[in-house]
A and B are shown apart, each in its own frame.
Chain A
Amino acid sequence: MKRYDGTSAELAAVDGRKRLNMDKVMTAVCFVLLLIIVVIPIVMIIYNAFFNEGRLELGTFVDQIKEEKNLSAMWNTLKIAIGATILGTIMGVFYAWLLGRSDIPAKGLMRALFNIPYMFPPFLGAMAWDMMFNGRSGYINKFLRTLFGLKTMPININSVWGIIFVEVSYYFPFVFMQVVSALERMDPTLEESARIAGAKQRQVIWKITLPLVKPAISAGALLILTTSLAHFGVPAILGYARGIYTLPTRIYAVIYNSGGSFDGIRQGAALSVMLVVVVSLALILQNRILSAGSYDIIKGKSMRPTLIKLRGAKVPLLILAILTLVLIVIVPLVMIVLISFLKAYGLPLSFENFTLDQYRTVFASNGTIDSIKNSLFASITAGVVCMFLGTLVAYVVQKIRPKGKGALEVISMLPYAIPGTVLSIGVILAWSGRIFGINLYNTIWIILVAYLARYLSFSMKTSSAALLQVHSSLEEAARVCGASHTESLADITLPLIRPAMVSGFFLIFLPAMREVTTSILLYGPYTRTLGVQIYSLRDAGMIPQAAALATVAIGIIIVLNTIVTKLTKDRKGV
């Protein structure tokens, strides 16, 4: 039998104040890091919007609100966000029902294809649509004009409706994915009972199925609304040149036009406060209207629902679904690839105008290679750091439960509701020398800091959910079996949440790779990211070169996604 002779081991364990308590250290680290990463930028925005050199000054803020351009930008932001939310929700629910509940063929393939717009960067889509339906020079517009002998261009994508259309086509998967999974988990007897009670098929859909998936619809719609309100890429590409501003593009314009002067940044901060107010109002409104409570009848285990026979409508609906897919997935992709082979933008799309020069230029240019390197560095680092930091915060919140754990949770989720543009301004204000003289402006580090703030909540959410599954008795059992606190973390808790940590990494890495909203305000001459580089090439009129780089970017995304899918599959197999 193992005996302790009562000296060293026990004396070390005397409950002294000297011994460093690991729980307390972890809690403190969380608070300090979140303070630096999240709280300081947000405080800086609010401070600078209302204060100038230590004095309360509401002038800037009031001026910004009064300015007509800003008011119309706000109005556009609302129109676009509400329009995209309503149309995207209708489209998402319709296709979710079609693929989840009807007997339409080729479901698996279609489901995979319907998820593509979700991975595809919307601003590349906007580029493609601009190439086709630009109000002055769109290729298809020109074709249609000559075909029908029109005087003006038939379709103008550079309009509020054009922006709504492009956003809908990339955001409807938010609703689609939520609703499909809710439909699959719904107990089919609920619908069957309604049929037995005498309801017709149509009545069942309206009175039973839709109300039951309402929470899922509402969650997806909220995601569309907040994403669209904060979105930069699509309105920047389609509206900017035509003077159609939204709040995020207006903020960019104000800062860009002021040449990065402090005054411009202050104006931007004031606009940011407006944008945050709009987003918060949207969140509150959404809560009021749609939070009808959750339903327990949607079970965790998956069941086999009864499929509705489409009969005569099968073929037309199948054609409609395929056309939608072609229109929103394949057409933009083909357009970008085609343009990337053109000698010069505007030349007809015929074979003699094709060349590989654009790709040669792209790969020969240091700027482009640097932008790929920068993006890889920033997104991998952000992914890794967020993976550990998010897990740390999740562990402190879920397992240590210190005083102020609520505050910790709110702080780490805060950036989720704050538009990327706003976050960038906060980061600029905080880290361009005003605090402890730390100046990160024009370096890759400022982009990294912004990514950390923006994506931390992603990894925290996944790790949190995983930690909830790890009952505290598992760690306690290890302690009693002779493992120290550190050993029990390393042997038990970490291995159990490792899969969630890995998926948290990819949840950050993939969107960060194609990010443009945050980095467009933060990039310096040598720190362009992939997204920024494509945007600036296009802005400089080098559209075929931008298209070539976009094609490369899409290639990278597809490769990465395939790797992720492979990895996740292997994990499930064990």
Chain B
Amino acid sequence: MANVKFDNITVSYGNHTVLKNFSLEVESGKIVCLVGPSGCGKTTLVRALLGLNKPETGMITVGDRCLFDAKKRVNVPAEKRNIGIVFQDYAVWPHMTVLENVCYPLKKQRRPKDEIQKRAMHALEQVHMTEYAKHLPNQLSGGQQQRVAIARALVVDSDVLVMDEPITNLDAKLREEMLLEIRMIQKRLNATILYITHDQQSALQLCDKMAIMQQDGTLCQYGTDEEIILHPANRFTFEFIGVSNFIPIEKGPSGAVLKCGGASPIPYDGEVPQEALSGGYELGVRPNDIVFDPASPIQAHVTSRVFLGSEYNYFLNIGEKQVRVQQSMLDARTRGVAKEGETVGIRFLNTRFYPAKKGEQTV
């Protein structure tokens, strides 16, 4: 186990700069999820860590070992970096059996034969693939191939394990199982895992910490999942993780008003910071932070209601503005449910205020 440090990394493909002066430090022995929309540079960053592309500036260290330093002209080749990887497309070698695939990294380390055999079988055990040891990859399903790739990454005790969307091809149940398995493996090996995904659900389930990357390749927040959900650093994080509603807000004749495209602005009696009234701001609120309150001045029309088993999902119209509301069963019992076609009063909790996106009408 070791910590991973990216310092001031810049990577470009031709004229297109993917990462610019990117810095991130991943603590030792943690599972860190790198989350961001597709094309934001997650894979580029990981390839730089693996030594598969060469950054123009910066430094990458794992533990106390420098893997890359643009200034000192250090660039440890991929095969000497001792990092395990599970590729997105598994990259299981089709001309080798499952066992040969898993043995390969150990063979390259010139380990004794019986040790190779023992450790490979152990790695296969961890991913429940021992019975397929003699199979060729084309006899396996996508999910099984993915597990072979995971076993191949586990078989060497790497300082760091990188997983690039490793469970996308598994069905929901197996996915849950693999996430737990990855957790257990991490506990046992105490490895540092860098887990890349665009799926926030599995990220929330798995990680100790999350690093949120923005479309332009910059890091916008790094913290525990609670911090990220409860205290998003900016509008991007708030919007990207979880579901969100945005309503334009501005200064009315007496206090704040919400502009919902209807005839008249709706007065808003909640707390609003001063700068949010300077124009061009929006109020952001999560669906489960909207509660029914008949006394509220904000009146909304219920257009649809869906029962999802553990919660109700509503679509309400405030004026012409559609908002989404989630009501937990507990809340439904205490405050009652709203019916389709009804007009209800609603109140916003945990509100946030962000400048509106330019040239874009948010829903």
- Which of A's residues lie within 8 Å of B, judged by CB? 1-2, 4, 6, 9-10, 13-16, 471, 473-474, 476-485, 487, 491-492, 495-496
Contact between A476 and B52 (Cβ–Cβ < 8 Å)? yes
Contact between B52 and A14 (Cβ–Cβ < 8 Å)? no
Tell me if B152 counts as interface (CB < 8 A to partner A). yes
List 3 A-B pairs, minimum CB-CB distance, nearest first: A482-B108, A15-B75, A481-B105
Residues from chain B with a CB closer than 8 A to the CB of A478 are 93, 104
Residues from chain B with a CB closer than 8 A to the CB of A495 are 95
* Number of A-B residue pairs at CB separation under 8 A: 90
Contact between B109 and A479 (Cβ–Cβ < 8 Å)? no
Segment at the interface with A among B82-90, B235-243, B261-269: B82-90
Q: Which chain B residues numbered 51 to 102 have a C-beta less than 8 Å away from chain A?
A: 51-52, 54, 65, 73-85, 87-89, 91, 93-95
Contact between A1 and B79 (Cβ–Cβ < 8 Å)? no
Contact between B104 and A13 (Cβ–Cβ < 8 Å)? no
Determine how close the nearest CB of chain B comes to the CB of A221; give it in whole angstroms. 37
Contact between B74 and A15 (Cβ–Cβ < 8 Å)? yes
Q: Tell me the complex Cα distance, A484–B51, Å.
A: 12
Contact between A496 and B91 (Cβ–Cβ < 8 Å)? no
Q: List the A residue with the shortest CB-CB distance to B2.
A: A1
Tell whether A1 pairs with B94 under 8 Å between CB atoms, given A476-B78, A483-B79.
no
Tell whether A484 pairs with B83 under 8 Å between CB atoms, given A6-B65, A492-B93, A496-B95.
no
Contact between A480 and B78 (Cβ–Cβ < 8 Å)? yes
Q: Which of B73, B83, B94 contacts A480 (CB 8 A)?
A: B83
Tell me if B50 counts as interface (CB < 8 A to partner A). yes
Tell whether A471 pairs with B80 under 8 Å between CB atoms, given A2-B109, A10-B74.
no
Tell whether A482 pairs with B73 under 8 Å between CB atoms, given A2-B157, A492-B93.
no
Contact between A477 and B77 (Cβ–Cβ < 8 Å)? no
Q: Tell me the complex Cα distance, A405–B87, Å.
A: 28
Tell me if B159 counts as interface (CB < 8 A to partner A). yes
Contact between A476 and B104 (Cβ–Cβ < 8 Å)? no
Q: Which of B73, B85, B95, B156 contacts A477 (CB 8 A)?
A: B85
Contact between B76 and A481 (Cβ–Cβ < 8 Å)? no
Contact between A13 and B75 (Cβ–Cβ < 8 Å)? yes
Determine how close the nearest CB of chain A comes to the CB of B363; give it in whole angstroms. 36
Q: Tell me the complex Cα distance, A491–B51, Å.
A: 20
Q: Which of A14, A473, A482 contacts B89 (CB 8 A)?
A: A473
Q: Which of A2, A14, A471, A484 contacts B79 (CB 8 A)?
A: A484
- Which of B's residues lie within 8 Å of A, judged by CB? 50-52, 54, 65, 73-85, 87-89, 91, 93-95, 104-105, 108-109, 149, 152, 156-157, 159
Q: Tell me the complex Cα distance, A491–B103, Å.
A: 13
Residues from chain A with a CB closer than 8 A to the CB of B84 are 480
Residues from chain A with a CB closer than 8 A to the CB of B80 are 4, 9-10, 13, 482
Selected A-B contacts with CB under 8 Å, 28 pairs: A2-B109, A2-B156, A10-B80, A13-B76, A13-B77, A14-B73, A14-B75, A15-B74, A471-B89, A473-B89, A473-B91, A476-B50, A477-B91, A477-B93, A477-B152, A478-B93, A479-B51, A480-B50, A480-B78, A480-B81, A480-B84, A481-B79, A481-B108, A482-B105, A482-B109, A483-B79, A487-B79, A495-B95
Q: Tell me the complex Cα distance, A305–B17, Å.
A: 51
Q: Tell me the complex Cα distance, A495–B149, Å.
A: 19
Determine how close the nearest CB of chain B comes to the CB of A248; give it in whole angstroms. 44
| Chain A binding surface, main DSSP class | helix
Contact between B91 and A16 (Cβ–Cβ < 8 Å)? no
Q: Tell me the complex Cα distance, A354–B94, Å.
A: 58
Q: Tell me the complex Cα distance, A2–B79, Å.
A: 13
Residues from chain B with a CB closer than 8 A to the CB of A1 are 157, 159
Q: Tell me the complex Cα distance, A14–B66, Å.
A: 11
Tell whether A471 pairs with B91 under 8 Å between CB atoms, given A480-B81, A491-B104.
yes
Q: Which of A476, A482, A483 contacts B87 (CB 8 A)?
A: A476
Q: Tell me the complex Cα distance, A448–B156, Å.
A: 49
Residues from chain B with a CB closer than 8 A to the CB of A487 are 79, 108
Q: Tell me the complex Cα distance, A14–B75, Å.
A: 6
Residues from chain B with a CB closer than 8 A to the CB of A2 are 82, 109, 156-157
Q: Tell me the complex Cα distance, A482–B109, Å.
A: 7
Contact between B94 and A496 (Cβ–Cβ < 8 Å)? yes
Residues from chain B with a CB closer than 8 A to the CB of A484 are 77, 79
Residues from chain A with a CB closer than 8 A to the CB of B79 are 479-484, 487
Q: Tell me the complex Cα distance, A297–B107, Å.
A: 46
Contact between A474 and B93 (Cβ–Cβ < 8 Å)? yes
Residues from chain B with a CB closer than 8 A to the CB of A496 are 93-95
Residues from chain A with a CB closer than 8 A to the CB of B81 are 480
Residues from chain B with a CB closer than 8 A to the CB of A15 are 54, 73-75
Determine how close the nearest CB of chain A comes to the CB of B70; give it in whole angstroms. 9
Q: Tell me the complex Cα distance, A480–B82, Å.
A: 7
Residues from chain A with a CB closer than 8 A to the CB of B87 are 473, 476-477
Residues from chain B with a CB closer than 8 A to the CB of A13 are 74-77, 80
Determine how close the nearest CB of chain B comes to the CB of A77; give it in whole angstroms. 47
Q: Tell me the complex Cα distance, A277–B328, Å.
A: 79
- Extra contacts, 10 of them, besides A13-B76, A473-B87, A474-B94 (Cβ < 8 A), are A2-B156, A2-B157, A9-B76, A473-B91, A476-B50, A479-B51, A479-B77, A483-B79, A483-B104, A491-B104
Residues from chain A with a CB closer than 8 A to the CB of B159 are 1
Q: List the B residue with the shortest CB-CB distance to A477.
A: B91
Residues from chain B with a CB closer than 8 A to the CB of A16 are 73
Q: Tell me the complex Cα distance, A498–B91, Å.
A: 19
Q: Tell me the complex Cα distance, A471–B83, Å.
A: 20
Q: Tell me the complex Cα distance, A118–B108, Å.
A: 47
Q: List the A residue with the shortest CB-CB distance to B74.
A: A14
Residues from chain A with a CB closer than 8 A to the CB of B156 are 2, 481-482
Q: List the A residue with the shortest CB-CB distance to B157.
A: A1
Most buried by A among B75, B88, B108: B108
Residues from chain B with a CB closer than 8 A to the CB of A477 are 85, 87, 91, 93, 149, 152
Q: Tell me the complex Cα distance, A63–B74, Å.
A: 66
Determine how close the nearest CB of chain A comes to the CB of B16; give it in whole angstroms. 16
Residues from chain A with a CB closer than 8 A to the CB of B105 are 481-482
Most buried by B among A15, A471, A477, A483: A477
Residues from chain A with a CB closer than 8 A to the CB of B104 are 478, 481, 483, 491
Residues from chain A with a CB closer than 8 A to the CB of B78 are 476, 479-480
Determine how close the nearest CB of chain A comes to the CB of B144; give it in whole angstroms. 17
Determine how close the nearest CB of chain B comes to the CB of A79; give it in whole angstroms. 51
Q: List the A residue with the shortest CB-CB distance to B110.
A: A482
Q: Tell me the complex Cα distance, A235–B132, Å.
A: 61
Residues from chain A with a CB closer than 8 A to the CB of B75 are 13-15
Q: List the A residue with the shortest CB-CB distance to B80.
A: A9
Q: Tell me the complex Cα distance, A481–B153, Å.
A: 8
Residues from chain B with a CB closer than 8 A to the CB of A476 are 50, 52, 78, 87, 91
Q: Tell me the complex Cα distance, A13–B82, Å.
A: 14
Determine how close the nearest CB of chain B comes to the CB of A520; give it in whole angstroms. 43
Q: List the B residue with the shortest CB-CB distance to A491.
A: B104
Determine how close the nearest CB of chain A comes to the CB of B95; give it in whole angstroms. 5
Residues from chain B with a CB closer than 8 A to the CB of A14 are 73-75
Residues from chain A with a CB closer than 8 A to the CB of B94 are 474, 496
Q: Tell me the complex Cα distance, A14–B68, Å.
A: 9
Q: Which of A473, A481, A485 contacts B152 (CB 8 A)?
A: A481
Q: Which of B52, B82, B149 contacts A479 (CB 8 A)?
A: B52
Tell whether A10 pairs with B76 under 8 Å between CB atoms, given A477-B87, A482-B105, A491-B104.
yes
Residues from chain A with a CB closer than 8 A to the CB of B91 are 471, 473-474, 476-477
Q: Tell me the complex Cα distance, A498–B52, Å.
A: 25
Determine how close the nearest CB of chain A comes to the CB of B46; give it in whole angstroms. 11
Q: List the A residue with the shortest CB-CB distance to B76.
A: A13
Q: List the B residue with the shortest CB-CB distance to A473.
A: B91
Determine how close the nearest CB of chain B comes to the CB of A74; give it in whole angstroms. 48
Q: Tell me the complex Cα distance, A364–B87, Å.
A: 64
Q: Tell me the complex Cα distance, A485–B52, Å.
A: 11
Q: Tell me the complex Cα distance, A484–B109, Å.
A: 12
Tell whether A480 pairs with B85 under 8 Å between CB atoms, given A6-B65, A15-B73, A474-B91.
yes
Residues from chain A with a CB closer than 8 A to the CB of B54 are 15
Q: Tell me the complex Cα distance, A496–B80, Å.
A: 24
